[in-house]
Structure 1
């Protein structure tokens, strides 16, 4: 674990969905989701991410979501606000707003669509890091941005004091050995969480933890603590759910799972549509398997 950076995150940070009702953010449901996550023992909450349908959220809605999550979390876990866009000035505005609302850190994506070069990315993150006091986690997701940070760019970002972490959402995105002590390295892939954590990764930005926070958190903790046998048992138990949720963190699928478990409205905003019937059946079957087959020592 990097020892000289400002933010410390644990093994599990949930990429929290945004519940809607009548096309408005359902604040009551959001409050319940946050409390459930905290009581289940997750280590942090990431809000306004793509899993939260961030492209469809207004600035006012983003502010309301961050404010609500900070209030309900009440210092028990850090709230990480996704504030990155493909516009440096806009990202600075959102980051400053998140800081004022009490977020513990900002998750800032590599700029998408405009596809800047490596020097452009370095300057983008440097400008954001000097515009507020929030610790920053750089979010490297080539499937959404069509570009990837190079090792040289990672090294340059590590020299910027407030950049404390790197979240990687791509196959083969390994942290170079000489940088492992300079970043909090986070994976955005639940399916590969066990080998990632066993091999020295610090934490998981987890979609699946929306649905089963205690089980995913236990799996991540076991893997990070070196208890490979327990981590494997939990991974195998959760594998049907992970497969049915998919690799991309589709909010419609996560919301349907939460609809079955908690009665959350499964509504999503266009251009997303609600999950297909075959996906709904797969989710229902995976959840039924979990509820029928308990894991010794762990309460679902």
Structure 2
């Protein structure tokens, strides 16, 4: 029988050590297994701790939609909860500086995906925007690089064969190692997949290079279409934040001579690949990508026709 008090102490210790406000079943169950407290499920990561949560044995844990969040046992104020949008209550938790769900530009696309799922599977599902799971890191771990040769190969190409990824990773600060990305949209349990709406900055000569390395991972977007959309698209070096990093990244230092750089574009292409790989690595479904070409390159205030174009793109490519 699981020792609930020891499990709670281990979760608290993990949160304190990593300076996190909350953790999730998928993230914490492997830690508990390493400590000999609760074996994880190989087929459904996080399931054993979810059963304990459902039984109410960790009373300070809470759900947002159908997803569990586990805060510190002694730091459980509502202010510590993340700002997440859900379709079940059609609201956002009222946190400081929280954006309005009604004004969020991708909500029409989120609503469309929910409609498609509910019509097909006759089941309500939660939808989260600007979702930042603990496992969606900005920099791969050494273990992930060793497991997936593609990460190292992609990086080597993106930096013109000038740097070694493992060596550059060793230069990251603790703060950098904790840095995470966010998904545009996350569709909750039991579907568990991200949706990325790719705008202009995601199509260029560097993103094209990464598309050659998808043979060994699942995808929920048409690779051939994305290769075509990246053909002949070149973003030149510049001084703006669109092309040049404003803060130093050991993985993507300035490579070119002069003030004009393109390391932001290289970094973005690398992180897009991580957004496609990491859900699979963590036991979730593949990332669904929608190119802005589908909405006639419009990125907000979508018309009825543009949303119907998204529907057609999803259904014709069997992405759901």
TM-score (norm. length: structure 2): 0.25
TM-score (norm. length: structure 1): 0.26
Larger radius of gyration: 2
